[in-house]
Amino acid sequence: QNLPGKTALVTGGASGIGLGIAKALLGAGMNVAIADIRDDHLAQGSAELADVAGGATDRILALKLDVTDRANYAAVADAIEARFGKIHILVNNAGVAVVGPTDLATFADWDWVMGVNLGGTINGIVTVLPRILSHGEGGHIVNTASMSALVPAAATTIYSSGKAAVTSMMECMRPELESRGVICSAFCPGAVQSNIAEAGKTRPAELAETGYAEADKRRQAGGNFSHLYQTKEQVGERVLEGILNDELYILTHSEFLVGVKERGEATTAAVQTHLPENPEYKQTFAMLFRNPAI
Ligand code: NAI
């Protein structure tokens, strides 16, 4: 990847992990558009990016975006192209979280988190992928998933299943798009210092009903461990490295090695190896599902 002079769009790019990624991409010489639902984050994020650029703000664009709003998304993509010409890197990063016992979750809990974390990512793919393909200069898509997509965590069902979906999206798109010059990566970090605990501030009124109010108070009373988390700058540089190396899985925290291995071993052990293989089926599977040309 030759990044200098090319353009990246980072959703949720005005705070936390997205801002860390935006800083790293700006530092690598890219034009960077951060798009975010919060005006205060856009102001703060723009200021931090201007510092990285040494005050030269011509490579920075900050735009208001609700990733669940498709018309808003198209207008933002138009504005970036009007300013920088093309979009080469899309980082689907905007995200929110609620956690708690699955039996207490309301439809609104599910709809809000899935709407932003999965729906917003779908909107990014549908809006921006054709634009990347049409200019023919190649590109990269990074979905910010989470380690929770790979290592099961109790009482995070809504959040983790949405993150598993955006990981799977990258796994499926990777072989399909590689030959057309677009590389896909799933970014699966462990805990990172950010403002995600404030996510409720952007929760729409029509999706306000939560089953988690008490569960969340208990969780918060459990303590604040943020001093143990990685910084947004650390993970931003890691994402840049993953982009430069064309990595499918961009991982961060080595503490999760055991969990990642256990999952791989459990799924491997569950394969019914005592049953005979049907070579024709195996070949058909390989032809139909692993062939990017189809
Ligand atoms: P953050 O709250 O600091 O940043 C997220 C940004 O997304 C905020 O600026 C927020 O205003 C914006 N946003 C929220 N809803 C939006 C919408 N509908 N449209 C546009 N922008 C919206 O949180 P953080 O932690 O940096 O989260 C970024 C991503 O990283 C999320 O997808 C999150 O799930 C993921 N993640 C976070 C981890 C952590 O420990 N902080 C660990 C693993 C993944």
Structural domain includes residue 1: no
Distance CA 158, CA 199 (A): 15
- Burial of residue 219 (CB within 10 Å: 0-12, 13-18, 19+) is middle
Give pLDDT, residue 91: 99
For residue 68 and ligand 1, the question of a CB distance below 6 A is answered with: yes
Give pLDDT, residue 214: 77
Total number of domains constituting the chain: 1
Structural domain includes residue 263: no
Provide φ and ψ at 68, rounded to 5°: -85, -10
Give pLDDT, residue 292: 60
Structural domain includes residue 108: yes
Distance CA 138, CA 157 (A): 35
Give pLDDT, residue 291: 62
Q: How many residues does the chain have?
A: 294
CATH label of the domain that carries residue 51: 3.40.50.720
Would you call 50 helix, strand, or coil by DSSP? helix
Sign of CA dihedral 171, 20, 44, 139: negative
pLDDT along the chain (294 residues), means of 10: 95 98 98 98 98 93 98 98 98 96 96 98 99 98 98 94 98 94 98 96 97 79 90 98 98 97 97 93 77 56
Sign of CA dihedral 125, 130, 133, 139: negative
Task: Tell me the two tokens of residue 139.
Answer: 């590109």
**What's the N-to-C CA distance of the chain in angstroms?**
26
Structural domain includes residue 235: yes
116 CA from centroid of ligand 1 (Å): 10
Which residues are catalytically annotated?
159
For residue 196 and ligand 1, the question of a CB distance below 6 A is answered with: yes
Give pLDDT, residue 247: 98
Point out the ligand 1 atom lying closest to the alpha carbon of residue 17: 26
ipTM of the complex: 0.99
Structural domain includes residue 292: no
Give pLDDT, residue 221: 81
211 CA from centroid of ligand 1 (Å): 21
SS3 of 68-115: the string is CCHHHHHHHHHHHHHHHCCCCEEEECCCCCCCCCHHHCCHHHHHHHHH
Cα 286 versus chain centre, distance = 29
Residue type, 167: T
Q: Whose CA is nearest to atom 7 of ligand 1?
A: 12
Q: Whose CA is nearest to atom 9 of ligand 1?
A: 15
Structural domain includes residue 188: yes
Structural domain includes residue 25: yes
Give pLDDT, residue 283: 85
What residues make up the domain containing 50? 7-257
Give pLDDT, residue 293: 55
Structural domain includes residue 123: yes
